[in-house]
Amino acid sequence: MDEGQQRHYRHIEVRPIAGALGAEVRGADIARPLEDEVIAEIRQAFLDHLVIFLRDQKLTPQAQLAFAQRFGQPMEYPQLTGLLECPLVTPVVKLAHERVNFGGVWHSDTSYLARPPMASMLYAVETPPRGGDTLFANQYLAYETLSEGLQQTLAGLVGVNSSAKADVSKTREDRLRDAGAELKLLVGEHPAVRTHPETGRRALYLNCGHTVRFRGWTEQESAPLLDYLFMHQVKPEFTCRFHWDPGSLAFWDNRCAQHYPVNDYHGYRRVMHRVTLEGDPPR
């Protein structure tokens, strides 16, 4: 959606929360089946704003999964097990005694897969009395604000993404140990700049959580350019910040947005339920 353009919605209210991305969607009770026209408007808001938020929802895992299925095909998360009663819903938990939070770096979800997810949907079950916000960053803007010369350089580059990059793998250790699982080594190679299959816009598709180097380059050779891009792509003017309450749901487009869960609530539990939707190979 062009800057300054305000789309008209008939069935829902959409309120942007920042200049770069993010909007609250009001007027939809997603615990019950919604008409196709309402789902179509929610999807349009999702595409326009990259991440949408719905507050004051009362969702069982089954209801969350049913809502997610209106937008795509749910998939298993590759490193964790789901709920016993609803295996495609994965709990994301930080306990009061833990100091490290799950996925606590800027990242695009599971970019180490050959087919990274289209989107993720996170629902707050239990939140700390303060803190625990999540930041999101617009990767369309991250690409569009690069110089023409750097855009041309990136057009021929492929990022190598690993599930075992140290910065992010350490954020999963507690959950993997609880599940009796080991960290799998998964590697995915994707264009440094991808074209969104629905909007046609180009987005920077590298992230500090998983991208280790460029294909054909060593890690040492890749580091200076990657370090610059990692800093550039999460500039404050590209971001929004969301504060969670129980009953809040965030639905973000993994193809053009990154996120960062802020780890500032030691001593409190935070329990979220996550559904991940299948995507296409980045192109």
Q: Residues with catalytic annotation? A: 107, 109, 259, 274
Q: How far apart are the C-alpha atoms of 229 and 19, rounded to whole Å? A: 21
Work out whether strand 90-94 and strand 270-277 pair parallel, antiparallel, or are unpaired. antiparallel
